[in-house]
């Protein structure tokens, strides 16, 4: 007996009764190999099993066969060869002596002579005794009449024949029949063995086929010498056992549970269990419904059972899909169905006398992908109703990612595809989806999470997907590599389980199977951090300071108070939650150049704060120069160990609570009505380049005077229309002498247009009665088409200027172009170029 104990292990989540099954329990029955399962149910303490059961166990029911040897005793056969036939019959009888076979022997020539009947064999089973009086008849070969005699006289009850037995006749002859006739079926399976060279027909096999059952290839054997009878038994034995397991009505294998491999998969829901039986019904498969405290079983197979289901392996995986107080659903995978795989959904009966009903089929798409090779039902909300069915497709080949998990959502009484999960690129043979497990809530959002194994991504990996309302996140929150756990691990993630608390700390632990080892991954308590920020003064007084100065002498110090408090999202955790929080404050994190500093040259500051969830908030003070908008980020630190020998699980931050953004406003100088009304004007300054000298190293500098005669202007922008021969180099503010950040954006232009546009934006406010002188420098492109002058148009705008004041927002300048003159002067043999 060969055993694979523990190939399938799963605890029942409510009763915490672990169950282990061995689907490879083998035993011999009349030379046939039976394979079925053996399962154990263990107590919560994992002591001695409280129950052992053999679901779908098939008793060794020996098939009854009544076999008659009809052997040739004609004169054409030598005494030596005749004796070889007798020895062959003895060999067959000896090797099948401890079976349910009964034998009889009839010699034929011109007449027939029963050597012994079935009743003789029942009284005396020694072939040497039964065949001791055989004498060679040495006459004709009346084969037809001999067959008729056996059919009419030997397979009779008074001769010891059994009504329920399969009737088999083995005919042995060395030549063609000397009589004439026909052979009828009579429900007798006939083998014929032709020996020697005494057959006159050109095709001996075709001639002998008239005496044999169909198909000819299976029931006719031609030997050129009598010596080859010695090695014929093994071949004959296989044919006999094929016949023994054949149903005449269906012309298919009658083996049902003999090769079931029951226990290759299983699932439990309360006291109701099912185990997969992939080998049942010619490997069409099915599952076994265990009831009455798992002591009685009922087999459920594919419906309808036809040739398309052969080798489908239904029951390779099974998963209960509870629907609250309503009837139970069961998903069963058939990963080899039609080479692409299938998942069948069944509705369990209300009572033991009811019938299982098949309600839906989900089909795979890629040949050899093993669609349905792993199944997992997910109750996302934990209300007892399964919302999701996850189908593993571990052998799916998709370029750089090997394996898939298809997520189906229960909607309108059927499962509909919701999304598709896949592993990290670079692992085309990673077998993502080889293991799938629904975990208890591990991130504290009260939604079920899921783990997916990819055992062949390098040393193996496990992906964690967090639940969302009605589904799962499409991206994993964590990827755990086997090599990170231990360099020696192999196939990390081949099996996963995550509903039990092995550390007795109130948190669910995740158990991961590897080759020859089991790894326990401890969960960590999750805390949610909330923060608040207060500052003084409440606004940045921009009139008193120049907020964009770098290293200027006037600086406004703002006092910041940042406070943190924590909330435990895993209230079942039994242990200390105090930890050191590392945080970062950063000014203008979304901008390339910050408008505030915590200290000279430093736009961010880092700190540590000790927090204990559920207690009062912890606060710290910082000073800031000119903040506007600032995000902060935080992460849970390792903390200072309170005791050198302390080993405890440290909290981890909720992923969604790391970042917040606050805004500190500028002071608005908008008068009593608190409504700012700007009045912009724009003109070209005469201080710019008066002309453009067109040469390889020439450039053009223009100056724009931008004035605000009204109240503060917000988001001031400039738009310029330029000839295509100019290439933008730089822009800067000349007056006042500050480093005002300016954003430039090149506009689009048609291919036939001689003009392109440039948009400039300060992204700052322009104070009332303030004038800004902006300088722009352009390089010249000599390969462009130039005229005698170039024209530049400029326009300014802001967010808060009334349209009635736009008349002075535009300006145009015309700049003459001077071309270089090349003069060649020749004096005798010298040439000068000016």
Residues 446-505 have pLDDT tens digits of 899 999 999 999 999 999 999 999 899 999 999 999 998 988 899 999 999 888 888 777
Share of the chain above pLDDT 70, in %: 84
pLDDT winner (highest mean) among 80-94, 187-201, 582-596, 662-676: 80-94
Give the confidence band of 383 by pLDDT, cuts at 50, 70, 90.
confident
Residue 414 CA to residue 425 CA, distance in Å, equals 32
pLDDT in tens, 571-592: 788 777 777 788 888 887 777 7
More confident residue, 547 or 405: 405
Q: What values do phi and psi take at 560, rounded to 5?
A: -110, 140
Q: What values do phi and psi take at 655, rounded to 5?
A: -60, -30
* Both structure tokens of 50: 């409280």
pLDDT in tens, 36-47: 788 887 777 777
More confident residue, 398 or 646: 398
More confident residue, 35 or 104: 104
Give the confidence band of 405 by pLDDT, cuts at 50, 70, 90.
very high
Question: 526-663 adopts what CATH topology?
Answer: Immunoglobulin-like (2.60.40)
* Both structure tokens of 16: 């915490």
Residue 642 CA to residue 269 CA, distance in Å, equals 45
Q: Tell me what pLDDT residue 346 has.
A: 94
Give the confidence band of 829 by pLDDT, cuts at 50, 70, 90.
low
Residue 396 has pLDDT above 90, yes or no: yes
The two beta strands, 652-653 and 526-536, are parallel
Residue 524 CA to residue 507 CA, distance in Å, equals 7
Q: Tell me what pLDDT residue 170 has.
A: 94
Residue 179 has pLDDT above 90, yes or no: yes
Query: Rg for the chain (alpha carbons), in Å?
Result: 46
Q: Tell me what pLDDT residue 2 has.
A: 40
More confident residue, 199 or 130: 130
pLDDT in tens, 499-530: 888 877 778 889 898 988 889 898 888 888 88
Residue 358 CA to residue 440 CA, distance in Å, equals 30
Instruction: Report CA dihedral (512, 514, 520, 526) to the nearest 10 degrees.
Output: -50
Q: Is the dihedral of CA 620, 626, 631, 635 positive or negative?
A: negative
Span 781-789, mean pLDDT?
86
Q: What values do phi and psi take at 93, rounded to 5?
A: -65, -40
CA distance readout (Å), 515 to 35, 494, 519 = 25, 8, 10
Residue 86 has pLDDT above 60, yes or no: yes
Residue 738 has pLDDT above 60, yes or no: no
Alpha carbon 434 to chain centroid distance? 7
Edge-to-edge strands of the sheet including 461-465?
435-439, 449-454, 461-465, 478-481
Q: Tell me what pLDDT residue 590 has.
A: 72
Residue 359 CA to residue 353 CA, distance in Å, equals 19
Residue 387 has pLDDT above 80, yes or no: yes
Question: 680-818 adopts what CATH topology?
Answer: Immunoglobulin-like (2.60.40)
* Both structure tokens of 554: 């006037």
Q: Tell me what pLDDT residue 754 has.
A: 61
Secondary structure string (H, E, C) spanning 30-69: CCEEEEEEEEEECCCCCCCCCEEECCCCCCCCCCCEEEEE
What superfamily does domain 65-244 belong to in CATH? von Willebrand factor, type A domain (3.40.50.410)
More confident residue, 614 or 320: 320
Q: Tell me what pLDDT residue 286 has.
A: 92
Q: Tell me what pLDDT residue 760 has.
A: 67
Q: CA angle, 39 as apex, 34 and 41 as ends, to 5°?
A: 170
pLDDT in tens, 226-282: 888 877 877 777 666 555 444 333 334 456 777 888 888 888 877 678 899 998 888
What superfamily does domain 294-516 belong to in CATH? Integrin alpha, N-terminal (2.130.10.130)
Q: Tell me what pLDDT residue 292 has.
A: 62
Q: Tell me what pLDDT residue 203 has.
A: 81
Edge-to-edge strands of the sheet including 266-269?
266-269, 272-276, 287-291, 296-300
> Would you call 238 helix, strand, or coil by DSSP?
helix
More confident residue, 30 or 392: 392
DSSP annotation of 807: G
Span 332-339, mean pLDDT?
95
Are the beta carbons of 567 and 606 closer than 8 angstroms?
A: no
Residue 17 CA to residue 544 CA, distance in Å, equals 75
For all residues of the chain together, what is the average pLDDT? 82
Q: Tell me what pLDDT residue 31 has.
A: 62
Q: Tell me what pLDDT residue 689 has.
A: 87
The label of the residue with tokens 């629904």 reads 438
- Burial, 66: exposed, middle or buried (Cβ in 10 Å; 0-12, 13-18, 19+)? buried
Alpha carbon 174 to chain centroid distance? 64
Secondary structure string (H, E, C) spanning 665-711: CECCCCCCCCCCCECEEEEECCCCCCCEECCCCCEEEEEEEEEECCC
Span 641-658, mean pLDDT?
59
CA-nearest of 655, 656, 651 to 505 is 651
CA distance readout (Å), 791 to 225, 518, 587, 697, 779 = 112, 78, 42, 21, 15
More confident residue, 516 or 145: 145
Residue 173 CA to residue 191 CA, distance in Å, equals 11
Cross-strand pairs, 105 = 69, 116
Q: Where are the domains of the chain?
A: 65-244, 294-516, 526-663, 680-818
On the question of a common fold for 65-244 and 526-663, the answer reads no
Residue 415 CA to residue 375 CA, distance in Å, equals 13
The maximal CA–CA distance of the chain, rounded, in angstroms, is 145
């Amino acid at each position: 007996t060969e055993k694979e104990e523990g190939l399938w292990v799963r605890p029942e989540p409510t009763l915490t009764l672990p169950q282990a099954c061995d689907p490879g329990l083998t035993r011999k029955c009349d030379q046939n190999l039976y394979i079925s399962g053996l399962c154990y149910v263990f107590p919560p303490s994992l002591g001695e099993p409280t129950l052992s059961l053999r679901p779908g166990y098939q008793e060794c029911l020996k098939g009854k066969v009544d076999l008659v040897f009809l052997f040739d005793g004609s004169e054409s056969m030598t005494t030596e060869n005749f004796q070889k036939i007798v020895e062959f019959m003895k060999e067959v009888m000896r090797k099948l002596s401890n079976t349910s076979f009964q034998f009889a022997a009839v010699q034929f020539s011109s007449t027939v002579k029963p050597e012994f009947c079935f009743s003789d064999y029942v009284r005396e089973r020694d072939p040497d005794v039964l065949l001791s009086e055989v004498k060679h008849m040495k006459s004709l070969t009346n084969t037809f009449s001999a067959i008729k005699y056996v059919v009419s006289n030997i397979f009779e009850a008074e001769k010891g024949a059994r009504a329920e037995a399969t009737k088999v006749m083995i005919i042995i002859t060395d030549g063609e029949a000397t009589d004439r006739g026909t052979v009828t079926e009579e429900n007798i399976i006939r083998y014929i063995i032709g020996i020697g060279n005494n057959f006159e027909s050109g095709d001996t096999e075709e001639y002998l086929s008239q005496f044999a059952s169909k198909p000819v290839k299976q029931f006719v054997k031609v030997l050129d010498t009598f010596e080859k009878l010695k090695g014929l038994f093994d071949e004959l034995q296989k044919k006999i056992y094929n016949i023994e397991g054949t149903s005449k009505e269906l012309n298919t294998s009658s083996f049902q549970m003999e090769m079931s491999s029951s226990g290759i998969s299983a699932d439990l829901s309360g006291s109701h269990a099912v185990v997969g039986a992939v080998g049942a019904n010619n490997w069409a498969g099915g599952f076994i419904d265990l009831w009455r405290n798992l002591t009685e079983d009922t087999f459920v197979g594919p419906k309808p059972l036809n040739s398309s289901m052969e080798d489908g392996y239904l029951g390779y995986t099974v998963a209960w899909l509870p629907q609250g107080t309503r009837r139970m659903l069961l998903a069963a995978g058939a990963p080899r169905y039609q080479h692409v795989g299938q998942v069948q959904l069944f509705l369990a009966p209300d009572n033991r006398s009811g019938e299982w009903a098949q309600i839906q089929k989900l089909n795979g798409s890629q040949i050899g992908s093993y669609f349905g090779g792993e199944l997992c039902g997910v109750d996302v909300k934990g209300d007892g109703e399964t919302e999701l069915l996850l189908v593993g497709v571990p052998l799916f080949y998709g370029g750089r990612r090997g394996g898939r998990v298809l997520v189906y959502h229960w909607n309108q009484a059927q499962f509909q595809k919701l999304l598709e999960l896949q592993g990290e690129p670079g692992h085309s043979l990673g077998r993502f989806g080889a293991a799938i497990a629904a975990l208890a809530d591990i991130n504290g959002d009260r939604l079920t999470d899921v783990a997916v194994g990819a055992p062949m991504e390098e040393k193996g990996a496990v992906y964690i997907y967090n639940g969302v309302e009605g589904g799962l996140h499409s991206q994993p929150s964590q990827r755990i590599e086997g090599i990170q756990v231990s360099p020696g691990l192999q196939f990390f993630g081949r099996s996963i389980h995550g509903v039990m608390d092995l550390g007795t700390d109130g948190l669910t632990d995740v158990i991961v199977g590897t080759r020859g080892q089991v790894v326990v991954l401890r969960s960590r308590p999750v805390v949610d951090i909330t923060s608040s920020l207060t500052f003084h003064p409440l606004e940045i007084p921009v009139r008193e300071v120049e907020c964009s100065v770098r290293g200027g002498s006037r600086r406004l110090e703002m006092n910041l108070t940042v406070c943190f408090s924590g909330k435990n999202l895993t209230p079942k955790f039994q242990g200390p939650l105090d930890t050191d929080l590392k945080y970062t404050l950063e000014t203008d994190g979304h901008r390339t150049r910050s408008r505030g500093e915590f200290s000279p040259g430093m736009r961010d500051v880092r700190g540590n704060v000790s927090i204990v969830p559920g207690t009062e908030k912890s606060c710290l003070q910082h000073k800031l120069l000119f903040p506007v908008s600032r995000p902060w980020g935080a992460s849970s630190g390792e903390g200072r160990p309170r005791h050198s020998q302390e080993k405890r699980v440290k909290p981890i931050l909720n992923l969604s609570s790391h970042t917040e953004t606050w805004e500190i406003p500028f002071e608005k100088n908008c008068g009593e009505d608190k409504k700012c009304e700007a009045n912009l004007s724009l003109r070209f300054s005469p201080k710019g380049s008066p002309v453009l000298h067109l040469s390889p190293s020439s450039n053009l500098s223009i100056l724009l005077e931008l004035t605000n005669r009204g109240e503060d202007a917000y988001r001031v922008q400039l738009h310029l229309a330029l000839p295509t021969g100019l290439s933008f180099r730089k822009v800067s503010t000349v007056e006042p002498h500050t480093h005002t950040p300016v954003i430039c954006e090149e506009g689009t232009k048609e291919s036939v247009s001689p003009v392109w546009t440039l948009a400039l934006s300060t992204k700052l406010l322009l104070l009332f009665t303030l004038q800004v002188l902006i300088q722009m420098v352009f390089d010249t492109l000599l390969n462009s088409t130039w005229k005698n002058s170039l024209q530049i148009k400029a326009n300014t705008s802001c967010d808060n200027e009334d349209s009635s004041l736009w008349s002075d927002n535009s300006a145009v300048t015309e700049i003459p172009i001077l071309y270089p003159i090349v003069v060649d002067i020749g004096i005798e043999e010298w040439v000068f170029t000016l």
